[in-house]
Structure 1
Amino acid sequence: MFDTLKTFLNSLTGDDEQHYSQTDPRLAAAALLVHTISIDGVIAEEEKTVLRTVLQSKYALSAEETDELIEEAGAADKEAVDLYGFTSVLKRSLDEEERLDILAMIWDLVYADGVVHEFEDNLVWRIAELMGISSRDRMILKKRAGKLAE
């Protein structure tokens, strides 16, 4: 009922409807990525650039589609009370290899500004745990991202 009311109010105010559903793994992944770049309190230009690049590359999006996905992901992240809503979508929708790809994208963002903040490291650990990724695989991806960032 709330969604119907929200859609109605958005139509009255001229707000665009969401193009990605809450169960779309692209939105869930993008929301985790947006959360990652903002968790340390500073969103560096390098992080924004890497965010756009990894989303465009992973999902074969145009510049406009990427902007739309980032905007909707930012809104979804602001409304979220925890990470489970996003990670559960990914765990249900993606196989292990695809979830590892998402975690690799997250590590790329963590290293984008050249500094691994303790909040970022902790966030990646929580996301990996919720997506069913082992500590071993998480650390392998971390080392790989760190070497690429050098």
Structure 2
Amino acid sequence: MKRSQIRENIFKLLFRLDFHDSEDMKEQLDFYLDDIGLTQDYPEIQDDISKMTDEEKNLVIDSVKNIITNVTEIDEKINEVSDNWKTSRMTKVDLTIIRLAAYEILFDEDVPNKVAINEAVELAKMYGTDKSKAFVNGVLSRFVE
């Protein structure tokens, strides 16, 4: 599976977890990765998961856990660079995409900053509004200045 597909699964799981309490994280991880829950109703999600190796699933889980662990620091950094749009005002889709890219920029040395930003813009094109692409790019560009 390509790294961009793994990143997309990280985004989907982070977005899903944003609607649940932290106590539900393990259960939601299990639902997502065990092909149950929403995957029964949405075969395209099941296809994504069934193609993942155990190593890729572990990468998704570790990344999600690391982002959640560092979300306060990530949000502080996002708020520092986004003047009129604090995290509390951002759409959940845009915020989740920005958090994922910010995590990669701050904590994942294997992902170049330009790649993190480009991949975030691609996710914004797929899942965001018409304005998401420019918004995500703008916030993240200021993030790496």
Greater relative contact order (Cα < 8 A, sep 6+): 1
TM-score (structure 1 length as normaliser): 0.38
TM-score (structure 2 length as normaliser): 0.39
The structure number with the bigger radius of gyration is 1
